[in-house]
Amino acid sequence: MIFDYETLKLIWWAFVGLVLIAFALTDGWDLGIGMLSPFLGKSDDERRVILRCIEPNWEGNQTWFIIAGGIVFAAWPLVYAASFSGLYFALLLILFALFFRPVGFKYRNKLANPAWRRAWDRGLFVGGFVPPLIFGIAFGNLLLGVPFHFDGDLRVFYTGSFWSLLNPFALLAGIVSVSMLAMHGAAYLQLRLDGVLQARAAKTAGIAGMVVLVAMAVAGIWIATSIEGYRITAMPDPNAMANPLAKTVVKAPGAWLDNYARYPWMLCAPIAVFAGTLGVYVMSRARRPVSTLIASGLAVAGVILTAGFSMFPFVMPSSSDPGSSLTVWDSVSSHRTLQLMFWVSVFLLPLIALYTSWVYYKLRGTINLETIRRDY
């Protein structure tokens, strides 16, 4: 074994973060475009052009979500078990909303009937809007902690309800997530479209960027002043076998800022959010699509990293039994499995990046009605 267990646990925290960022950066614009298309596209032709920007690529992008599920299952089985069963209806809402996308993209243009197309446009809106909203709400609740505990056999019991997830802070996190992906989707559209649609996309990106900026600032102040974070007060050696019941955890206001005092470099994440959103505002007004998209990507990655850095080493804190909280140290798979999956990922992730880039390269170019006429 080249890496000790502790190092691998850290690497896997980074990998899960990386895959989530890859998901948000690529499928993020698909989701954003899905929710924006009914508003930016005033006619069937316009909506068709907008959706055509992502139609050949969205499927591969969405697979990052499946991969995230798979690696969390393999690397953090307790997190997979506790979060998916605890947040049962939230997960199912995401799932049912996502159902609209494969069929929506594929079936929409198979018939010319306007009612048929409008119905799929609504489905694609739901498929683009609901998942980011629920993702945001779920992350908001993770920051607050969710009520669950384990028994001696490590069976997980969740004691909250779906409605308790819909608290003010979590809804704010939902706004961050929705506006962030709307911004990212609009930034991508600005790159791929021309004419009046491009202008509409640019305007939308700037507005959405400002919403992200304000919502993140409010969330930050809220966390710094009144939200209780979690802090480990005693835990076994990080190289020990995973046991989520062996540590002691306290809740304390402002504890989610501990890491920024200890590791000031982590401040780069929130700074990236502010720089990125401001960049989107400025660059979209200046009609610089490539710069807008880069700034938007910076902001998206910054939002996810900010959540991850604030909570580290926690992944899923328990509000009802803080000792049951899941962290990167004690919710993980065995040393051997982490090692194996490390090599698999190190080999495959760059390969995926490589062929995905080739596919994007081959499908590059401005999308307009002429493109659709040329399509088979």
Partner 1 sequence: MPDLELVDVSRLQFAVTAMYHFLFVPLTLGLSWVLVIMESVYVMTGREIYRDMTRFWGLLFGINFVMGVTTGITLEFQFGTNWAYYSHYVGDVFGVPLAVEGLMAFILESTFVGLFFFGWDRLSRIQHLMVTSLVALGSNLSALWILIANGWMQNPVGAEFNFETMRMELSSFSAMFFNPVAQAKFVHTVAAGYVTACMFVLGISSYYLLRARDVGFALRSFAVASGFGLASALSVIVLGDESGYTTGETQKVKLAAIEAEWETQPAPASFTLFGFPNDKEQRTDHAIRIPWLLGLIATRSMTGEVPGIRELERDHLQRIERGIVAFGQLQKLRSGDKSQETRESFERSKADLGFGLLLKKYTAAVVDATPAQKQAAAADTIPKVAPLFWSFRLMVGLGMLLLFIFAASFFFLAIRNLASQRWLLRLALWSIPLPWLASELGWVVAEYGRQPWTISGVLPTVLSVSSIPVSHVYSSLGAFIVFYTALLLIEMYLMVKYIRLGPGSLGTGRYFGESARGLTAATGATPRPPRSADEGTR
Restricted to residues 169-228, the positions that interact with partner 1 (CB under 8 A) are: none
The three-state DSSP-derived secondary structure of the chain is: CCCCHHHHHHHHHHHHHHHHHHHHHHHHHHHHHHHHHHHHCCCHHHHHHHHHCCCCCHHHHHHHHHHHHHHHHHHCHHHHHHHHHHCHHHHHHHHHHHHHHHHHHHHHCCCCCHHHHHHHHHHHHHHHHHHHHHHHHHHHHHHHCECEEECCCCCEEECCCCHHHCCHHHHHHHHHHHHHHHHHHHHHHHHHCCHHHHHHHHHHHHHHHHHHHHHHHHHHHHHHHCCEEEEEEECCCCCCCCCCCCCEEEEEECHHHHHHHHCHHHHHHHHHHHHHHHHHHHHHHCCCHHHHHHHHHHHHHHHHHHHHHHHCCEEECECCCHHHCEECCCCCCCHHHHHHHHHHHHHHHHHHHHHHHHHHHHCCCCCCHHHHHHCC
Token pair 């479209």 is at which residue?
A: 193
Residues numbered 37-66 forming contacts with partner 1, rule: CB under 8 A: 55-60, 62-66
Q: Phi, psi at residue 326, to the nearest 5°? A: -100, 130
The least distance separating partner 1 from the CB of residue 213, rounded to whole angstroms, comes to 33
Q: Is 239 in the site for partner 1 (CB under 8 A)?
A: no
User: Does residue 336 interact with partner 1 by CB under 8 A?
Assistant: yes
Are 366 and 192 in contact by the 8 Å Cβ rule? The answer is yes
| Closest CB 92 distance from partner 1, rounded Å | 5
CB of residue 243 vs partner 1: minimum separation in angstroms? Answer: 7
> Residue 351 CB, nearest distance to partner 1 (Å)?
9
Using CB under 8 A as the binding rule, whether residue 71 contacts partner 1 is answered as yes
Pick the closer one to partner 1 by CB: 156 or 181: 156
Binding of partner 1 by 82 (CB under 8 A): yes
Q: Which is nearer to partner 1, 76 or 230 (CB)?
A: 76
Q: Which is nearer to partner 1, 241 or 250 (CB)?
A: 241
Half-sphere exposure of 116 (CA within 13 A, CB side): 10
> What character string, x for contact with partner 1 (CB under 8 A) and - otherwise, covers 109-128?
xxxx----------------
Q: Establish if 20 lies at the interface with partner 1 (CB under 8 A).
A: no
The verdict on 80 binding partner 1 (CB under 8 A) reads yes
* Partners of 228 in the β-ladder: 253
Is residue 36 involved in binding partner 1 (CB under 8 A)? Answer: no
Tokens of 168: 């003010």
For residues 31 and 227, which CB has a smaller minimum distance to partner 1 in the complex?
Answer: 31
The only residue of 1, 4, 85, 285 in contact with partner 1, by rule CB under 8 A: 85
Binding test (CB under 8 A) with partner 1, winner from 14, 39, 42, 96: 96
With CB under 8 A as the contact rule, the residue among 2, 43, 152, 163 that binds partner 1 is 152
Q: Which of 38, 70, 147, 238 binds partner 1 (CB under 8 A)?
A: 70
Count of residues that interact with partner 1, criterion CB under 8 A: 73
Considering the rule CB under 8 A, would residue 373 count as an interface residue with partner 1?
A: yes
Pick between residue 154 and residue 267 the one whose CB is nearest to partner 1: 154
Exactly one of 236, 334, 366, 370 binds partner 1 (CB under 8 A); that residue is 334
Work out whether 363 is an interface residue with partner 1 (CB under 8 A).
Answer: yes
Q: Does 275 bind partner 1 (CB under 8 A)?
A: no
What gap in Å lies between CA 35 and CA 204, rounded to an integer? Answer: 12
Alpha-carbon distance of 83 to 158, in angstroms, equals 9
Residue number, 15 or 256, with CB nearest to partner 1: 15
> By CB under 8 A, which span of 97-105, 223-231, 259-267, 307-315 interacts with partner 1?
97-105
Window contacting partner 1 (CB under 8 A); options: 215-223, 251-259, 317-325, 330-338: 330-338
